[in-house]
Amino acid sequence: MQDLEVFFSFLHTERLTRFCDVDERIVRVFLNTLYDQRLSRKSVSRKISALRTFYKYLEREDVVDVNPFSAIRLPKTESKIPGFLYEKELEKLFEVSNLTQPLGQRNQALIELLYATGIRVSECRQLILDNIDFYIGTVFVQGKGRKERYIPYGKFAKIALETYIQDGRKALLAKSGQQTNALFLNNRGLPLTDRGIRDIMNKMVKNAALTVHVHPHKLRHTFATHLLNEGADLRSVQELLGHENLSTTQIYTHVTKDHLRRVYMRSHPRAND
């Protein structure tokens, strides 16, 4: 509704009292006013979409003969470069859990697995015990569209998971008096929710005294960025992340190019003036 109100205000300024008086020329004047306000492309696209839908309704109701927004192309939205954590920031997160307590063991297993596999919060929440294969070191994940994939994990995640499952999880499960195959449990012994995972991350970030904003999805960004920085090919990272389109994965190459430039400027003898 707010997007429509912006347009109505524009019409009032232009002294246009009827919707049928709006043509493509008026629409382009309106777009110029939006760009003059330095609105983002995403914001402009949203307003155009809302007004296109509004004028479709006016067409159906015979208020206007044509939709002046139908021929207007939406501006391409900027690709938002994902944020990621540096290794020193990660180490601080890995050091805050109290590994002598069940909740600390769970938190350590959770963060190690999120970083080791790059899985989404929703995928992590759905994990059950049988999804973890300790023999070959993989986790079975059912992602978007019920697409399945196996993701390997390393030594640190394995140790954290084994400790949690053998000790911490059993202690948490005893609190509920119920049986569940859910891998990650809350402090009442019930399956963790998406919100529960985010709350755990927020507390860990606070305890680690990190100055950057960290959310579970940032660990997914970090997973992808670190793999590419170390030479992993884009197709493999796409498969590990469960992206349907390679273009979705390619956004991480912007981050790695910046990383490579910094390495070059720091290391090449003739890079600096």
Residues tagged active-site = 120, 144, 217, 220, 243, 252
Cβ of 206: how many Cβ atoms within 10 Å? 11
Q: List own/partner pairs for 7-11 with CB under 8 A and 24 or more apart.
A: 7/47, 7/51
Residue 102: what are its φ and ψ, rounded to 5°? Answer: -55, -45
Closest CA to 115 of 78, 156, 77: 156
What is the distance, to the nearest Å, from the Cα of residue 178 to the centroid of all Cα atoms in its chain? 33
Contact 127, 184 (CB under 8 A): yes
DSSP 128: B
Name the maximum alpha-carbon separation found in the chain: 74
Contact 164, 106 (CB under 8 A): yes
Q: What residue ranges in 52-160 does DSSP mark as E strands?
A: 132-133, 138-142, 148-152
DSSP 20: G
